Structure 1
Amino acid sequence: MGSETGTADRKRRSFIEEARREQIMTAAAEVAAEVGYASTSFSRIAEKAGISKSVITYHFSGKDEILRLVTARLFERVWQHMEARIEAETTAAGQVRAWIGAQLEFFGAHRTEFLAMSEIVAGHRDPDGTPAYAADLAEEVDALAEILARGQRDGEFREFDPRGVANIILRSTDGVLASWAYDDGVDLPGQTTVLLDFIDHAIGGRR
């Protein structure tokens, strides 16, 4: 009996700790979105979450750990949203459109998360000064470039440098999201339509 109670208590503590970590990461994302990466601090996160700084230091070693986890979680969530849409398409042109459309759709419903991710990705650097997410961004470019190269092999797209064009497409998507995130007057669905039409004409994709 005692052993079973102890196990239950440990599970309960684990659940509470996980919920607290989630609360702290959510608050950290909101703070980063509001004041930027550089101004995000334990004090501001604690105030946003309605807890003491000591509670944060119990769960996390520092600001960098929290913000890395925030970004990793967002990367995972947006990719899960995009992956099903991409895999449902049978052509490279369809997959490119699904990639961009699903990404814009996800962040359209998660403005705070997009602002937080943008601030963290732009501001976070490794100890040697290099951008902390350079490898992740390069991996994203490579994955889209593979789809573009397949479309060229299958005769869907004209000739161009797949990786260079993949980078342009992704940075254009970032630009549309940034203009919307910082300006409530921007019509994101409308801009999504414009961007997809532009990409179709640029790469020669068939509708």
Structure 2
Amino acid sequence: MRPENNPVGQNSRSFIETARRAQIVASAIEVIAEHGFAGASLARIAEHAGISKGVISYHFTGKDELMEEVVSQVYADTVRYILARMEGQETATALLRTQIIAGAQHMREHRAQVKALGEIFSNLRLPDGRPRYGVAASEELFQSLEHIYRLGQQSGEFRPFDVRVMAVSHLAAMDNMFAYWSAHPEHDLEAHARELADLFEHAVGARKTRS
């Protein structure tokens, strides 16, 4: 047994635990995408990961917490990808288009994640029966989109409008884009994203600057 004040031991445990949690989340995504939310039991996820159900229970208090971690990790990965492509963009118009198009580019390579998120959003409930991921859970996303729209208004690129209305419409359009692609895998997701970027660019009265 390592001494509690051994920093090497602490770092090693932290790395191992982080890797194990990531493994469980990755297996959960694949199982949800294949079997749906109801079919994604902890036993089935454990079998997919090649571990015992007890290992999952060690890292997560139950299925709900694991589902929340799936959402958290998928969103974190997506945000990192989009922000990396936003870096260096000098106009609000370019930021707007990049947010939409880069999001589609990332998710095109992660179809199982799209399907898993759809299943979780539709089925995960709070104790009182309300959806865990309803409109209230999107506040941070609304605010980030508002920032882009407000920046465009301040620079004179965008016309005056209610940034909250535009942010809500923007997020709904992207959610439905991914839902449609999930149901119709033959659909050209990136072409859809470009059309969507055109739509919002025209809606806000932005100058025509294609990324």
TM-score, structure 2 as length reference: 0.85
SS of 2:161's equivalent?
coil
Q: Which residue of 1 aligns with 2:161?
A: 160
- What amino acid maps onto 1:68 in structure 2? E
Matched residue of 1:186: which SS?
coil
Distance 1:7 1:169, change over 3 A: closer
1:175-199 per-residue CA deviation (whole Å, 9 max, x = no partner) reads: 1122222222101122122111111
d(CA) in 1 for partners of 2:111, 2:77: 14
Please report the RMSD computed on the Cα atoms of aligned residues, expressed in angstroms: 2.3
Secondary structure of 2:184's counterpart equals: coil
Structure 1: which amino acid aligns with 2:151?
Answer: R
Long gaps (5+) in structure 1: none
Distance in 2, matches of 1:90 and 1:7, equals 43
Determine the C-alpha separation between the residues in 2 that align with 1:7 and 1:142: 39
> Is residue 183 of structure 1 aligned with residue 170 of structure 2?
no
Q: SS at 1:36's partner residue?
A: helix
Aligned residues: 204
Displacement of 1:28 = 0.8
TM-score normalised by structure 1 residue count:
0.86
Question: Following the alignment from structure 1 to structure 2, what is the Cα–Cα distance between the partners of residues 87 and 10?
Answer: 35
Q: Counterpart in 2 of 1:118? A: 118
What is the CA deviation profile of residues 5-51 of structure 1, one whole-angstrom value per residue up to 9, with x for unaligned ones? x8767665554444332222111111122222233211221222233
Query: Are 1:56 and 2:40 matched, yes or no?
Result: no
Offset, 1:56: 2.0
Q: Report the secondary structure of 1:75's partner residue.
A: helix
In the superposition, relative to structure 1, how do residues 11 and 80 fare at CA in structure 2: closer, same or farther (>3 Å)? closer
1:148–1:7 CA distance, 2 compared to 1 (3 A): closer
Give the CA deviation at 1:81: 0.9
Is there any run of 5+ residues in structure 2 with no aligned partner, and where?
A: none
AA in 1 matched with 2:90: T
Deviation at 1:158, TM superposition (A): 2.0
Query: Among the aligned pairs, what percent are the same residue?
Result: 40
CA distance 1:8–1:150, shift in 2 (3 Å) = closer
* 1:95-134 paired onto structure 2 within 5 Å: 95-134=95-134
Q: SS at 1:37's partner residue?
A: helix
- What is aligned with 2:199? 198
Q: CA separation in 2, counterparts of 1:95 and 1:15?
A: 35
Identify the residue that residue 75 of structure 1 maps to in structure 2.
75
Give CA-to-partner distance per residue, 1:122-167, whole Å, 9 cap, x none: 3222223333234441210121112212212322112322111111
